[in-house]
Structure 1
Amino acid sequence: MSVMLRTLKKTPVAVTNLKGKVKFPEKFKGTILEKWANYWKNLFIDYKQMLQDLRTDIQDDPRKAFLWTTGLATTVILAKNNPTEIDFKDSLKRVTNNVILVSEECRNPKSIEHLRAVEQYYNEGLIHYRSFGIASVMYTSECNESCDLYKAHCSYLKPTYFSFPSRVVDFGFMGRWWNVYVKTVNYDINI
């Protein structure tokens, strides 16, 4: 934190020194190049002022700055570890391969039922992926995207937003698809 504050303290001095060294040639005055240079100069001044304000805000309330930094860092970490549809397929294949190695008498029927349902959704083209930045959802729809039945186009027959939780197949968060993990953690224990 102190390194960041020292860097922010040095920035305005460096900008002031640079401002005195840069001069615009007389032959370009009044042209579009001068307007373009003024735009970038004013943008640079705005960012300089923003850094000065940031420095004073950090010095005035370091606890608030720490909380904001922690929140932003947490959001970035969650976004980087957000699982994709490829991760979902990969975890399904990995679990399916492990289940195949266990004899049928030892397999958990709930795990097998879940894996077969997800496989059927993929075969019918009913499963979809949606990312929310820090978390992802795999959900099913009523009809395939290529379906051209009346049911697929009628607004009165489309599912409501309240029925969405019942159509969720899996929830991805922190690099893991949790429903697949929970339902298949004991795939080799017949209950």
Structure 2
Amino acid sequence: MFVGAWERPVKASVYMTLVGGAWACFYTKPDQSSFEAALLERSGQLGLLSPWIRNGASDGHVQNLVKLRNEGRLHHVSLGLLSLVYRTEYDPDATLYEAQCSNVSPRWREFPQRVLDVGFVGRWWVLDSKMKDYDVNTEEFKHLPAHMQATSPPSVQEVERSERLHKESWLALTMEDEEIETNVVEVKQESVSEESSTNELTQQQTQT
């Protein structure tokens, strides 16, 4: 094996990469407990939000998964390199005829339609994608014009300007010498004008 790897290093590198990648996928494959923990965490995140600002798709998907879990219809299967979470029609412990008879059970060709999530490299991909922007209710903005519904991320210059203005807002105000002198002159002029107006009123009252 070492001689073959020495003679064909590219082929050996490809094989080693494939084997290492398969081992990493198998080692980081999530299990059923990790899915339940992720589901409870996402449900808690949505529970902290008001129903008016929750994303409808995120809330509906999580509520459906929680309902299936409480009914015992949510199951997990390991496929070596990845994991699948799927739903069934009945709880395995149910004593109904439809739940126990294999002749009326769903066929394997219907299994892809029952898959709800895929676990790969330590993530549940469908759940993570459904929770994107979970705190944005898109129904609130559907009546806005198209150019107002889409937003673009700020540029680097805008972010730096916002940070600079935020830092400057915490600084103490300073006044230049010229501004101080101007303010003093204005105050003196106002006091002089008030005194002159007071004197004129006094003279008018004396004359009357």
Whether these two folds match at TM > 0.5 is yes
CA offsets 1:55-93 (integer angstroms, 9 cap, x no match): 221122111111111110000111111111111111112
Matches within 5 A, 1:148-187: 148-187=95-134
Give the whole-Å Cα distance in 2 for the aligned partners of 1:149 and 1:90. 30
Structure 1: which amino acid aligns with 2:124? W
Structure 2: which amino acid aligns with 1:117? N
Q: Secondary structure at the match of 1:119?
A: helix
Identify unmatched segments of 5+ residues in structure 1: 1-53
Matches within 5 A, 1:23-42: none
- What is the CA-CA distance between 1:156 and the residue it aligns to? 2.6
Matches within 5 A, 1:96-175: 96-175=43-122
Q: Secondary structure at the match of 1:156?
A: helix
Q: Secondary structure at the match of 1:91?
A: helix
Q: Secondary structure at the match of 1:163?
A: helix
Structure 1 runs (4+) greater than 4 angstroms displaced: none
Q: Secondary structure at the match of 2:103?
A: coil
Give the whole-Å Cα distance in 2 for the aligned partners of 1:153 and 1:84. 26
User: Bigger radius of gyration, 1 or 2?
Assistant: 2
* Alignment correspondent of 1:66: 13
Q: Secondary structure at the match of 1:138?
A: strand
Structure 2: which amino acid aligns with 1:75? A
* Alignment correspondent of 1:56: 3
* Alignment correspondent of 2:34: 87
Identify unmatched segments of 5+ residues in structure 2: 139-208
Give the whole-Å Cα distance in 1 for the aligned partners of 2:70 and 2:45. 21
TM-score, structure 1 normalization = 0.69
Which structure ranks higher in relative contact order (CA pairs < 8 Å, sequence separation ≥ 6)?
Answer: 1
Match of 1:189 among 131, 136, 147: 136
- What is the CA-CA distance between 1:154 and the residue it aligns to? 2.5
Give the whole-Å Cα distance in 2 for the aligned partners of 1:188 and 1:154. 44
TM-score, structure 2 normalization = 0.63
Give the whole-Å Cα distance in 1 for the aligned partners of 2:36 and 2:123. 12
Give the whole-Å Cα distance in 2 for the aligned partners of 1:190 and 1:180. 18
* Alignment correspondent of 1:20: none
- What is the CA-CA distance between 1:186 and the residue it aligns to? 1.5
Q: Secondary structure at the match of 1:171?
A: strand
| Aligned residues: CA RMSD | 1.2
Structure 2: which amino acid aligns with 1:82? K
Give the whole-Å Cα distance in 2 for the aligned partners of 1:56 and 1:176. 39
Aligned residues: 138
